[in-house]
Amino acid sequence: MSSELRVASYELGGRRWLVILFAALVCAAIYLPTLRYQFVWDDEQLVTANYRLEVANPLPLFGQDFMPQSHGSVATRVHYYRPLTVLSFWLDRHIWGQNPFGYHLTNVLLNALALVLLGLLLVRLAGRTQIWPVLLGIAVFGLHPARVESVAFISGRTDLLATVFVLLCLLSLWRYARSGRWPWLGAATAAAAAAMLAKETAVLLPVLVVAMLFLPGFGARARNRLAVILPAAAVLACLVLRWLVLGSAALPAGSAGVVQRLLLFLNALGRYGQLAVFPFTHRLLYPDRPAFAAFNWPTVVGFLLLLSLPLLAWRFRGRAPGFGAAWFLLFILPASNLFAIGDTFLAERLLCLPLAGLAIIVLSVDRVRFGSARNLIMVLLFAYVGLLASDTLHRASVWCDPVTLFRTMVRESPGSADAHLNLGAALLRQENDAGGAEAEFRMALALQPGHAVAHNDLGDILRKRGQLDSAGQEYRAAIRQDPGYAEAHGNLGIVLLRAGQPDSAFDQLRLARALNPDLAPVYVNLGNCFVARGQPDSALRSFWTAIRLQPDRPEAYINLSRLYTVLGKPDSAELVSRMLQQRHAPSSGRE
């Protein structure tokens, strides 16, 4: 193709932007069915049961750890400091309440915005070339099934927000480099901070900015220095804020030895490389540490990627392939077990941000001389995009509701105790299937006899059946495995209270309160204990504390109203009853 034709193809004027916008929106539309999906998995902890989202002023959210309903002892809880993500949940809560439609709509819109911004960046990186590689890059990123978890899963929003703000940072820097106008540099700095406050995997963004300086089109050297220094300062400030809130700027390296950590890293890198190119094999959960740290084919692939990506980034610095390789490597490194990321050694959602680098690499296909096979190669590339779209539609349907999700998890990882535990909880909550839930909890314990949460959840089923002795045994087993498990102590207190042992129950509930002061059910049952002990003032304080912690918990209102009635305060009892009616219909009073 002649250079004149290339220029004409590139200079489409306003129509070029319309074509890019149309392509981005078409790719985003593939997720419209998710608007009918429910809350699943971590959505309960982060959204539906997160009482902190009820506050009128969201500013304190920037100084808090955000996993209030985690199971197990405080020592084993996940530290979750992504305040901008939680702020978005706060906005959704105040607009949509507990309606999942609005939360999914936010994810769909954020995904569409990310695709539009990526299209703008691809156009700038493409230079004077045809527009079809740009469209292909948008399609590869937008239709890639590894991104399903980030869009169809409400709690996966962290990756969408980080992607949006990283793209905004780079586009703002591009405008600053071309114009020298300070507002663009300010916008880039703010976007860098926002990316970090959305998800900590954006920590290497300043290194990517350095790689961007090699690209054509940047201005004076002094401006370039500021383009690196100010975003880097913003990222550093966010790390300091993270350290102040959590006591650590980064995630701990964990207990893995040097060799095991290296194998975890290489295996994760190798599997991410495979999923980026061939994303048609899925797992919601990956093996435990010993299996994941074993030497296998991902180790070799990870080693090759660790060698080739930096070489590619350096060899083609200043061009799309090099910048794309740097992008993929820099944003996959924090997700590749260099540091511990809880019990997650691999997750498809962690590919969301790195995959934009793959879309940038795709731009280079137009510069490869295919000769007579050019048309065939183009057909194969777009057929590949079609396969991506088909697999994305199929995979997204897995996230429609908790039972479907966790049945899939059990099918993919039948040897995982957590998979069976999750399915049991979903069967109990969504279908009220206590028998099915009990079978799943017992399967979890058969696979992992020391699973404290499985013992606790099985105890809940037995307690609600009236099998107090068996329930107490399960709660005690949970406590033996995890002495700091506040929920298990609280549940044991309920069993003891019902068994006519109020003093022992009181001791267990006070211990649960000391271990985790944020558990509303503990305060409800402490209130019941105070009533039994003839301490109405303490009971009133406990019930009101439960309401403050979890305003949608009916038994706190019911028990409080009953107590006011017994104390001869009918006006207060009526007020509490009206408060409950504003929330939802009343239910049984005791836990």
Q: What is the pLDDT of residue 588?
A: 43
In a domain, 215, yes or no: yes
Structure tokens at 475: 């709660």
CA 91 to chain centre: 17
In a domain, 472, yes or no: no
Which of 351, 372, 399 finishes a domain?
399
In a domain, 429, yes or no: no
Q: What is the pLDDT of residue 378?
A: 76
Sole residue written with tokens 């309160």: 513
Which of 399, 424, 440 finishes a domain?
399
* DSSP per position, 174-200: HHHHHH--HHHHHHHHHHHHHHHHH-G
202 and 61 in a common domain: yes
523 and 395 in a common domain: no
Q: How many other β-carbons are positioned within 10 Å of the β-carbon of residue 184? A: 19
CA atoms of 83 and 243, how far apart (whole Å): 13
E strand intervals along 212-327: none
H or E element that contains 436 = helix 434-447
User: Digits of tens for pLDDT over the chain (591 positions)?
Assistant: 333 333 333 444 557 788 889 999 999 999 999 999 999 998 988 898 887 888 889 988 888 876 654 556 544 555 678 999 999 999 999 999 999 999 999 999 999 999 999 999 999 888 766 788 899 999 999 999 999 999 999 999 999 999 999 999 999 999 998 888 899 999 999 999 999 999 999 999 999 999 998 887 665 566 678 889 999 999 999 999 988 888 765 544 445 577 888 888 999 999 999 999 999 999 998 866 667 778 889 999 999 999 999 999 999 988 889 999 999 999 999 888 776 555 567 899 999 999 999 999 998 877 666 666 667 777 888 899 999 999 999 999 999 999 999 999 999 999 999 999 999 999 999 999 999 999 999 999 999 999 999 999 999 999 999 999 999 999 999 999 999 999 999 999 999 988 888 889 999 999 999 998 888 899 999 999 999 889 999 999 999 999 988 887 889 999 999 999 999 999 999 999 888 888 764 444 445
Q: Report DSSP state, residue 77.
A: P
pLDDT tens for residues 56-89?
899 888 888 766 545 565 445 556 789 999 999 9
CA atoms of 195 and 159, how far apart (whole Å): 9
In a domain, 165, yes or no: yes
525 and 380 in a common domain: no
Structure tokens at 335: 């997700």
390 and 527 in a common domain: no
Which of 376, 399, 422 finishes a domain?
399
Q: How many other β-carbons are positioned within 10 Å of the β-carbon of residue 426? A: 24
In a domain, 97, yes or no: yes
CA atoms of 441 and 435, how far apart (whole Å): 10
Listed residue (87, 86, 84, 105) closest to 96, CA to CA: 105
In a domain, 590, yes or no: yes
Total structural domains within the chain: 2
pLDDT tens for residues 373-387?
667 777 888 899 999
Sole residue written with tokens 């309903």: 69
Contact in structure between 265 and 302 (CB atoms under 8 Å):
yes
Q: What is the pLDDT of residue 333?
A: 92
In a domain, 419, yes or no: no
Contact in structure between 118 and 359 (CB atoms under 8 Å):
yes
Contact in structure between 384 and 139 (CB atoms under 8 Å):
no
Question: How far apart are the two ends of the chain, measured CA to CA in Å?
Answer: 74
**570: CATH:** 1.25.40.10
Q: Which residue range(s) make up the domain with 533?
A: 518-591
In a domain, 200, yes or no: yes
360 and 223 in a common domain: yes
